[in-house]
Amino acid sequence: MAEIDARLREDVHQLGELLGNTISAQRGAVFLDKIERIRKGAKAARRGSAAGAEQLSAGLEQLADDELLPVARAFNQFLNLANIAEQYHRIRRRGPDEPEPFESRVLPELLQRLLTSGHGADDLARQIARLDIELVLTAHPTEVARRTLIQKYDAIAAQLAAGDHSDLSAAEHEQVAEQLQRLIAEAWHTEEIRRSRPSPVDEAKWGFAVIEHSLWQAVPNFLRKADHALQEATGMHLALDAAPIRFASWMGGDRDGNPNVTAAVTREVLLLARWMAADLYLRDIDQLAAGLSMQQASPELLAKVGDSAEPYRSLLKQLRERLRATRSWAQEALHGPVAAPAAVLQDNRELLEPLECCFQSLHACGMGVIANGPLLDCLRRAATFGLFLVRLDVRQDSSRHAAALDEITDYLGLGRYAEWDEEARQQFLLAELDNRRPLLPSHFKPSADTAEVLATCREVAAAPAASLGSYVISMAGAPSDVLAVQLLLKESGLLRPIRVVPLFETLADLDNAGPVIDRLLGLKGYRARLRGPQEVMIGYSDSAKDAGTTAAAWAQYRAQEQLVQVCAAQQVELLLFHGRGGTVGRGGGPAHAAILSQPPGSVAGRFRTTEQGEMIRFKFGLPDIAEQNLNLYLAAVLEATLLPPPTPEPAWRELMDKLAADGVTAYRGVVREHPQFVDYFRQATPEQELGRLPLGSRPAKRREGGVESLRAIPWIFAWTQTRLMLPAWLGWEYALSSALQRGEGELLAQMRERWPFFRTRIDMLEMVLAKADGAIARLYDERLVEPSLLPLGEHLRDLLSQAVAAVLGLTGQSQLLAHSPETLEFISVRNTYLDPLHLLQAELLARARRRDNQADSPLEQALLVSVAGIAAGLRNTG
């Protein structure tokens, strides 16, 4: 097995040793020795030692009640420290003899390939300037770490960077070590888990913090390097206002099944974003005003400031006053409606123009080297984040709109909207959309639910257009779902166009997406109101929960193909919005590979996708890591646009149809049809406990009921905690083994080699299977599951083994991830710390189920720490 890079191993060892020092200082050497015996037992057990397994279980069984929480915290903290070391290793200083990481090379190498393949320099420069990539930040119920602790982790990474210099003196090395020890002690003595659920506003502030502490720095750095790569390849520069990647958010706008997100919350989050943007620009302007003390300026700049000895400072001071006015107004407006003074910035051009004027003047006066410094960075931020920081999406379930309209039509004596067929609904909605008179009388007194829907629509109508993204409709299934939102927005005073986006989530809805959009675009009144592209959201989480990842992945692919064809025939631009999660079971995985595996024509210079919870922190929490991931997105969307993947051959499609049919049959045969499945799921996993823990502002269930009532995130998260990972692979074992038995192995191998879609699916499946562990899942069963349900657990672990065998048969490897030995080795290192947490969690679950614990009891806290630690250890399957 490959060795982990020596420097990474050294960092992991150092951080672990410093954590041990901290624990020993607080609880003594005897307690630290207990943890070390548990760790060594886990390590030996993983190597097949029966004595090691006995040492591990005995060490955990001998823990007193008051030792459960600190032991869980110790292993949780180590896994977080290992994550920090691994993240830093990706961005560490490279020696002159070391190759640049793929993330840094990907764009320059792609530009060379594109030039070689016949794309002209002008074409490439224009295409990059036109790219429209939007990353939509969403809250996540499994992001349990507190912001204060995340900031300490970031500081630890900064100290690793400070110590990563070969020319440091002994005293300087000692200083770095002391600061690391101090930060780790601070982290250890900080309660890592919230005591109460975050509010939607808390979640939004968490998203803003990622921008403030990472993306604010990463975006101009990323664009500077993209500009350099473009200039090297083509001799051309990015335009000053180029913003190929922008950011939106669902935090404070996603009310689907979350009663805590109200119209008032949406208004507050919009104002907080505006306040934060003004505050961040003020910091930039203060820095620029301090540096731009030059006297020589262009006539255009002098005309704006008059006779001034320091014209740049004079112009920037004018902008500073307007930013202060904007920030003050936003602060005041948080406490109630207040008119915005004339000085408040309303349009992004008002922010950009003085900055551009300074930039052009410096270049005109021979001071381009000054212009291309922090001033250029500020311009790039202004183009990317604008006055509103992120564009807020609003999301609501289609049934809420239908219920509101049903109440309205009943009140007006028009009949019951809920009872009308699709044709009747469309006729009514189109007629009302064209009608100049209001539909609602002023004395209409709606029910609480309808009042909230209308209040949200009024907030959308009142908000500046640039502050909002799209209005997303969950569980959309017909053209009337889109028209209904348009009518409710019109009745609330919205006079400008906004993208109203149907979200297709279930298997049946995905199969029907193309025909629905075709009918929608065929409506004359709808086409007249459509401005810009037709946006359609593809749901990954719920389709996978509904049908398993085999059938869901193929349905998502086919739906995109259909939508591309429909929009081309209707001569309408298409923007696909990918509702991916961080986990494989929810459509997650490496973004670069995922984008390159989309159907040809579906990524035509436009790409919109969700970035969720803990994956936001892993991908964008540190500026250098964020820069790498932004590079990957830019390069992948550019490549998918200009060098799209091949259209699948008929034989591949035919086999994929069979795989999907076999996959959904096998998946639903277990999840929906096995009479003991729900009982087993609730006993073998921490699903019930996750619902009680303070993991997010949104309830774990949409309604009472079985598996179908669960949200996709806790559904997957519960299986991940036990390492069975069932939602990510169930169905593939039967689909692949059936194909191999039919003698289709050669065709499968061809698909894997030549079809990016299929290769990416198998790569993701292999990765999740490498992290799955039937032996760990069995330990949960033995501790938690009643005897009558144990055979089902055994059957599921047998299916897991079949999935592993099928993937090995397809890839021709003797071991999963044999092609990536360093990844295997790091999984092995993590298992030494994960195994005790799994055993401890099973014991904690058993004890919690015997008692009625309060949410803030030590046992419940220990359970939540174990949940966080396992999620941290498993990363994109957590």
Q: Treating both helix axes as pointing N-terminal to C-terminal, what angle do 790-811 and 745-754 enclose, rounded to 10 degrees?
A: 70
Helix H or strand E segment including 541: helix 541-547
Q: Treating both helix axes as pointing N-terminal to C-terminal, what angle do 147-162 and 200-210 enclose, rounded to 10 degrees?
A: 10
* Dihedral sign (CA 531, 533, 534, 540): negative
Count CB neighbours of 704 within 10 A. Answer: 6
The alpha carbon of residue 782 and the mean position of all alpha carbons in its chain are separated, in whole angstroms, by: 35
Helix H or strand E segment including 535: strand 534-539
Count CB neighbours of 24 within 10 A. Answer: 15
The alpha carbon of residue 704 and the mean position of all alpha carbons in its chain are separated, in whole angstroms, by: 27
**DSSP bridge pairs for 137:** 249, 611
Main-chain phi, psi angles of 233, to 5 degrees: -80, -35
Q: Treating both helix axes as pointing N-terminal to C-terminal, what angle do 216-234 and 102-116 enclose, rounded to 10 degrees?
A: 30
| 3-state DSSP of 230-283 | HHHHHCCCCCCCCCCEEEEECCCCECCCCCCCCHHHHHHHHHHHHHHHHHHHHH
d(CA 108, CA 783): 54
Main-chain phi, psi angles of 246, to 5 degrees: -125, 175
CA nearest neighbour of 564 among 633, 514, 631: 514
CB 696 within 8 A of CB 143: yes
d(CA 870, CA 878): 7
Alpha carbons within 13 angstroms on the beta-carbon side of residue 361 total 25
d(CA 404, CA 397): 12
Main-chain phi, psi angles of 189, to 5 degrees: -90, 10
**DSSP bridge pairs for 245:** 133
For the annotated catalytic residues, the residue numbers are 140, 545
d(CA 203, CA 249): 11
Residue entry with tokens 């929608």: 520
| Residues 102, 373, 626: CA angle, nearest 5 degrees | 30
Pair of tokens at residue 143: 């992001």
CA nearest neighbour of 742 among 670, 806, 804: 806
DSSP state string for 357-396: HHHHHHHHTT-HHHIIIIIHHHHHHHHHHGGGSSEEEEEE
Which of helix, strand or coil describes residue 98? Answer: coil
DSSP alpha helices (H): ranges in 101-256? 102-116, 121-130, 147-162, 170-188, 200-210, 216-234
- What does DSSP say about strands 499-504 and 574-579: parallel, antiparallel, or unpaired? unpaired
Pair of tokens at residue 470: 């799209």
Main-chain phi, psi angles of 132, to 5 degrees: -130, 90
d(CA 6, CA 89): 11
Count CB neighbours of 55 within 10 A. Answer: 19
Pair of tokens at residue 580: 């991916």
